[in-house]
Amino acid sequence: MPPGRAAFVAGETVIMIDSKQRLYLVTLHPGGKYSYHGGIVPFDDIIGQEEGLMLNSSHDHSLVVFRPSLGQYVLKMPRGAQVIYPKDLSAIVMAADIFPGAVILEAGTGSGALTMTLLRAVGTDGRVISEEIREDFARRAVANIRRFMGETPNLEIRIRDIYEGIDVHDVDRIVLDLPEPWRIVDGVAKALRPGGYVVSYLPTVLQVKQLVDTLSRQGEFALVDTVEILERHWHVAEMSIRPEHRMVAHTGFLTVARKGARFFPRLRRTHEVTELSPELDDESASELDET
């Protein structure tokens, strides 16, 4: 459900956090309950209460209840496909300079994590067109998106194979979570408006290399860049400050490029002399070459 309500309501999805910072994602319904290793939590103890509620389970384990952030929801929601991690989702928004009101083409939808991030970024005045080849993934994504965001009239999910061609035009951004994005680089160039960005999420350097080579050969993309985001938390206590023993290291590479005018190779200077001043004699042309 959309955030901002003063009290929890039936049908809303919440996150319960225990004393060890473990997260439990639940959807509230009257008379229901959540059973876990720490006991039972009746939903009627949560419905009607304000966000930040602290309560005890039937085994006297403490819990605090909030509306989930998008990052928390993404990591706990049901998945059909592997999701893009929050550290990469936030980087995609910045790398592609996604703005309110933008029109974005996404492929593929997966479990909907990236789709929700894009919807948040473009706002109600923007539009997201998301293409997914697998209908079961698309169904799961729709359910995940509706559970967290409610109705999203500015989202269009299409079941199709984007490798067969891109049939939208003049979009502001294209965001790809595909294994072989180099296959559609020409289509991306035609679909993007001038100055638009394309961002691709890939797990291996071999895929990155093939994509970057294709973008460079295509001739309409500038500022091609690849980045990897590493995230390390720190343990901070009264007598101990140190890095956590575990970190979210490699998940994938982000390759971003911006569409410009097609680059033409410069004419050699001798050609410029010959074509622009064919009447010059050899001596004059030589003098011009030396200037």
Give the C-alpha separation, 109 to 135, whole Å. 10
The model's confidence at residue 287, banded by pLDDT at 50, 70 and 90, is: very low
Mean pLDDT for 263-276 is 49
Q: Is the pLDDT of residue 272 over 90?
A: no
The residues, ordered by sequence, that sit 6+ positions from 21 with a Cβ below 8 Å of its Cβ are: none
**DSSP labels for 17-44?**
EETT--EEEEE--TT-EEEETTEEEEGG
To the nearest 10 degrees (0 to 180), the angle between helices 135-149 and 113-122 is 50
The model's confidence at residue 82, banded by pLDDT at 50, 70 and 90, is: confident
Give the C-alpha separation, 117 to 114, whole Å. 5
HSE at residue 146, side-chain half, CA atoms within 13 A, is 11
Which residues is 27 bridged to in the sheet? 13
Instruction: Check residues 207 and 286 and name the one with the higher pLDDT.
Output: 207
> How many residues comprise the chain?
291
Read off the amino acid at residue 222.
A
CATH superfamily of 72-259: Vaccinia Virus protein VP39 (3.40.50.150)
The position carrying tokens 């680089």 is 185
Q: Which tens digits make up the pLDDT trace of 173-222?
A: 999 999 999 999 999 999 999 999 999 999 999 999 999 999 999 999 99
- Of the chain, the end-to-end C-alpha distance in Å amounts to 70
Q: Is the pLDDT of residue 278 over 50?
A: no
pTM: 0.84
Q: What does the block give as tokens for 141?
A: 């994504």
Pick the CATH number of 13-68 from 3.30.43.10, 3.40.190.10, 3.10.330.20, 3.40.50.12160: 3.10.330.20
Q: Which tens digits make up the pLDDT trace of 166-179?
A: 999 999 999 999 99
Q: Which tens digits make up the pLDDT trace of 83-110?
A: 899 999 999 999 999 999 999 999 999 9
Residues above pLDDT 90, as percent of the chain? 84
Domain residue limits, the chain? 13-68, 72-259, 267-291
* 3-state SS assignment for residue 68: coil
pLDDT, residue 1, reads 45
